[in-house]
Amino acid sequence: MPVMASAAVATERWSILSADRVRRGASQGAMLLGVLAGLWALWEGFKWFGEAVDLKIGVFVVDDRTLPHLHSIVARLFEPTAVGDRLLTVLLEAALFTAKEAAVGFAMGAAIGFLIAIVLVHSGLLQRGLLPYIVASQTIPILAVAPMVVVWLGGRGLPGWFSVAVIAAYLTFFPVAINTLRGLQSADPRALELMQSYAASRWAILWKLRVPASLPYLFAAFKISATASIVGAIIGELPAGIQDGLGGAILNFNQYYASSPDDLWATNLIAALLGLSFFLLIVLAERLIVRRAPEHVA
Amino acid sequence: MSRRVSVVSLRGLSKEFSRGGVVALQNIDLEIAPGEFVSLIGPSGCGKSTLLRVIGDLVEPTGGEVVVNGKSARQARLDRDYGIVFQDAVLYDWRTVAKNIALPLEMGGWNRGRRRARVGEMIELVELGGFEGHHPWQLSGGMQQRVSIARALSFDPSLLLMDEPFGALDEMTRERLNMELLRIWERARSTIVFVTHSISEAVFLSTRVVVMSARPGQITGVVEVDLPQPRNAETRGEPRFFELVTEVRERLRAGGLDTAGEGGEEELIAAEEGL
């Protein structure tokens, strides 16, 4: 039976694929360790070299103040702060607070960006008319927008963290809108013709064809936006005068940098890890949701 | 509906593409009766794909009349009278084989139980048992095209429009799928309009071969294929088969085998639709 034979071939191919996946996972793990070791070597090597030759770049010199040992930065995380708790505990609480702002901002921004794309894909006129302003919105520096948002929303009795979430949303919606628009337009023209031949409604074409076709683009945008929303939240905390998040911690440790540089470096490390975990959440969601040929999934 | 009513009736049909003023179709008259298998054959740029799209209301003609099942092409489309198969299977990557076949049924508002039953019949019809849960990228080209055919037939359209459906497949797969298509056509008793580049494929499959010429796209001849039904592997070896192949080839030659502008038609359609 030719059909049975091809079924066997397909299952075999499938099991080869999953063996491939295990091998790829292992090599990715090895790669991660290699990159971490490389970064450590680069950091410590540069520090050792700079100190050995008394390197001066402008006013920048290499010493324990400008470039602390990585191990002392990590060790600092486990030492107590002035208020008593371990620095790690303090920073994780701050990170959690910032994560809440960023997550709410990301959700709002993603929803708004998605809606904008859906409106624009159905009207060439709106697309030509509105797209320039959407692009222009991103040329205004976030630092100029943030204080206004805080004043406006704060004046309406909304909590500070919500203003920060709005600022994060401002950074999020743009890549989502642009990429989703591109993705909605990426559907195969013949697939659209097929939908026409089924007398499909616009709504059905949108949800059964355009949106699924746009998912890889959408997730590419989410990856950019996930990290941008954290940058937005951290920056937004500064004019909002919020002390509870990573932005507050950065501002605080900035003032004490001369005496304890490790504090700021440790905060940066946690901020980077927060961004990374947002990114990985998106990657995980993509793996679970997007069903495409392996070569289509980035 | 009486047997005398044509499934497709084209009168004085023409299509001119606004960009470049190219005349893709000129003065096309054609009647297709229920149950016929009609092939459109001609050189690149002769408008055979455009003609198929005009019948299916995917491209609007600039002149003439299209009547499908006694109504306008648009109404026929809205009534889901068409099943369409393209050269590429155009399956949805994110749907399994079963879900791809069920797509038109979802559009037609079939409930889950009926959908499942019909998908099961279709899977059986195109002999893809065991592959229901596979995704398109896990299938060979021939299997993908069988899914595409099952999808087109799933909602029982009265007219099947096929645009070089086997053009991208190797010769062996192509001949096997030709046989399968004939078997399906006999069982489903539908009417098929089939665009192809291959003379032998057209003769083997059809009850009638419509020969077209390019620039402007016109019908230059119609060859009645009087080979006995059902056709089988031996059909290709019969003397009458070769006579008919020769006749079609000579009609094509008479129309001028001008192949200038390979693939020009697709580009024109794309330009027209602003894609």
Chain A positions touching B139 (Cβ under 8 A) are 10
Q: Provide, as residue numbers in chain B, all residues whose Cβ is less than 8 Å from the Cβ of A191.
A: 90, 92
- Dihedral class, residue B177 (left if φ above 0, else alpha if ψ from -120 to 50, else beta): alpha
Chain B nearest C-alpha distance from A275 (Å): 29
Interchain CB distance below 8 Å, B130 and A7: yes
Same domain? For A205 and A147 the reply is yes
Last residue of a domain, one of A43, A61, A79: A61
Does any domain span residue A80? no
Does A290 contact B94 at a Cβ distance shorter than 8 Å? yes
Q: Give yes or no: residues A12 and A105 share one domain.
A: no
Residue B6 has pLDDT above 70, yes or no: yes
| Beta-carbon separation of A294 and B137 below 8 A | yes
pTM above 0.80, yes or no: no
Whether residue A192 sits in one domain with residue A115: yes
Question: How far is CA A281 from each of CA A114, A255, A288, B114, rounded to the nearest angstrom?
Answer: 19, 33, 11, 38
Residues A48 and A137 in one domain: no
A131 and A230, same domain (yes or no): yes
Q: What is the pLDDT of residues B182-223, one digit of tens each?
A: 988 888 788 999 999 889 899 999 999 999 988 788 888 899
* Closest C-alpha among A290, A141, A146, A147 to residue A218: A290
- What is the structure's pLDDT at B218? 86
ipTM: 0.83
Report yes or no on A137 lying in a domain. yes
Specify the residue for token string 């470096």: A265
pLDDT digits (tens, 9 = 90+) for A2-29: 444 455 555 555 566 677 888 888 898 9
CA of A28, closest CA in chain B: separation in Å? 25
pLDDT over 80 at B123, yes or no: yes
Of B56, B90, B130, the CB nearest to A3: B130
- pLDDT, average across residues A36-41: 93
* Residue A47 and residue A110 share a domain: no
* Disruptive mutation site among B126, B135, B138 for chain A (greatest number of A CBs within 10 Å): B138
Nearest to A296, CA basis, from B92, B131, B143: B92
Which of A45, A61, A77 delimits the end of a domain? A61
- What pLDDT was estimated at residue A6? 52
Residues A45 and A112 in one domain: no
Q: Residue B25: in which H helix or E strand, if any?
A: strand B22-32
Nearest CA to CA, how far is A16 from chain B (Å)? Answer: 12
Q: What are phi and psi of B126, to 5 degrees?
A: -95, 10
Establish if A215 belongs to a structural domain: yes
Q: Find the CATH number of the domain harbouring A189.
A: 1.10.3720.10
Looking at per-residue pLDDT, the higher value among B113 and A158 belongs to: B113
pLDDT of residue B116: 93
Chain A residues whose CB is inside 8 A of the B143 CB are 6
Band the pLDDT of A298: cuts 50, 70, 90.
very low
Distance from CA of B136 to the nearest CA of A (A): 8
Instruction: Looking at the complex, report in whole angstroms how far the Cα of residue A298 sits from the nearest Cα belonging to chain B.
Output: 15
- Listed by number, the residues of chain A in 183-242 with a beta carbon closer than 8 Å to a beta carbon of chain B are 188-191, 193-200, 204, 208-209, 212, 215
Distance CA A101, CA A80 (A): 26
Query: Are residues A214 and A277 part of one domain?
Result: yes
Residue that is last in its domain, among A11, A44, A61? A61
Test B131 with A7 for CB contact under 8 angstroms. Answer: yes
Judge if A51 and A126 occupy the same domain: no
Whether residue A79 is contained in a domain is answered as no
- Strands, DSSP E only, in B92-247? 159-163, 191-196, 208-213, 218-224
DSSP string, A13-25: HHHHHHHHHHHHH
Token digits for A111? Answer: 């929803």
* Chain B residues with beta carbon closer than 8 angstroms to that of A189: 270, 273, 275
Residue A148 placed within a domain = yes
Range of the domain at A50: 2-61
Residue A81, in any domain of the structure: no
d(CA B234, CA B232) in angstroms, rounded, equals 5
Whether A152 and A292 map to the same domain: the answer is yes
Averaged pLDDT for residues B127-139:
90
Same domain, A285 and A184: yes
Residues A101 and A165 in one domain: yes
Residue in chain B nearest A186 by alpha carbon = B275
In a domain, A68, yes or no: no
Is any Cβ of chain A less than 8 angstroms from the Cβ of B136?
A: yes
List CB contacts of A212: < 8 A, sequence separation 6 or more.
B92, B94
Number of domains in chain A: 2
Q: How many CB pairs under 8 A join A and B?
A: 76
- B-chain residues within 8 Å CB-CB of A209? 92
Residue A110 has pLDDT above 90, yes or no: yes
| Residue A74 is assigned to a structural domain of this protein | no
pLDDT value, residue A295: 54
CA-CA distances (angstroms) from residue A159 to A94, A103, A109, A153, A162?
17, 16, 18, 8, 6
- Going by pLDDT thresholds of 50, 70 and 90, the confidence category of residue B13 is confident
Identify the band that residue B262 occupies on the pLDDT scale cut at 50, 70 and 90.
Answer: very low
pLDDT for residue A1 is more than 50: no
**Chain A hits for B132, Cβ within 8 Å:** none
